[in-house]
Chain A
Amino acid sequence: MSDYSEVQKAYRLRPRPQEAPPGAVKISLQSSFTIEPLAAYIWKAAEGEGIPVEIHVGQYGQYAQEMMDPAGALYRFDPEMVFLFAKPGPGEAPAQRAASLEALIPHLRKNSRAALALANFIVPANPSELLPDPDAREFEEANKSLALLPERHPNVRVLDLEKLAACFGKRRVTDWKLHYLGEIDFSPEFQAYVAARCMTFVRLSRRPPRKCLVLDLDETLWGGVVGEAGSAGVALGPHGAGSEYLAFQRAILKLHERGVVLAINSKNNPEDAMEALEGHPHMILRPRHFASMKINWSDKVSNMREIASELNLGLDAFVFLDDSPVERGWVRRSLPEVLVPELPADPAHYAAFLEELDVFESPSVTDEDRRRGRMYAQEAMRKRLESTSASLEDYLGGLKMKLAVEPLSRKTLARACQMIMKTNQFNLTARRHSEGEMLSLMESPDCEIYTLDVADAYGESGISGLAVLKYEADACRVDTYLLSCRILGRRIEETFLHVLIKAAGKRARRMIGEYIPTKKNSQVKDYYRGSGFSPIPSEGAAERFELDLAAERSSSCEFHELALKGFEI
Chain B
Amino acid sequence: MNEKLEALFARLFDAKGLRDEMSPENVAGWDSFSHIELIVELESVFGVAIPTSDAVKLDSVGKIKTYLSEKGAA
Contacts and interface: CB of A to CB of B under 8 A. Distances in A.
Interface string A5-16: 100110011000
B33 A2 contact: no
A8 to B, nearest CB: 6
20 contacts: A1-B11, A2-B37, A2-B40, A2-B44, A4-B40, A5-B11, A5-B12, A5-B40, A8-B34, A9-B11, A9-B12, A9-B29, A9-B37, A12-B29, A12-B34, A13-B29, A37-B33, A177-B39, A180-B52, A184-B36
Contact of A182 (B11, B12, B14, B32): B32
A54 interface: no
Interface of A: 1-2, 4-5, 8-9, 12-13, 34, 36-37, 177-178, 180-182, 184
A8 B37 contact: yes
A177 B43 CA distance: 11
B21 interface: no
Contacts, number: 44
A5 B33 contact: no
B25 interface: no
A12 B11 CA distance: 13
B27 interface: no
Given A9-B12, A181-B55, A4 B37 contact: yes
Contacts of A182: 32-33, 36
Contacts of B43: 177
List of 6 A-B pairs having minimum Cβ-Cβ separation, nearest first: A5-B37, A182-B36, A180-B52, A181-B36, A1-B11, A36-B33
B45 to A, nearest CB: 9
Given A12-B29, A13-B29, A182-B32, A5 B39 contact: no
B20 interface: no
Dominant secondary structure at the A interface: helix
B41 A1 contact: yes
A184 B32 CA distance: 12
B58 to A, nearest CB: 11
Nearest to B37: A5
A177 B54 CA distance: 13
Contacts of B55: 181
Contacts of B29: 9, 12-13
Contacts of B12: 1, 5, 9
Contacts of A181: 36, 39-40, 52, 55
Contacts of A177: 39-40, 43
B33 A178 contact: no
Given A9-B11, A181-B55, 10 more contacts: A1-B12, A1-B41, A2-B37, A2-B40, A4-B40, A5-B12, A5-B37, A9-B37, A178-B40, A184-B36
Contacts of A37: 33
Interface in B1-43: 11-12, 14, 29, 32-34, 36-37, 39-41, 43
Residue among B14, B36, B55 with max Cβ neighbours from chain A (10 Å): B36
Contacts of B36: 178, 181-182, 184
Contacts of B14: 13
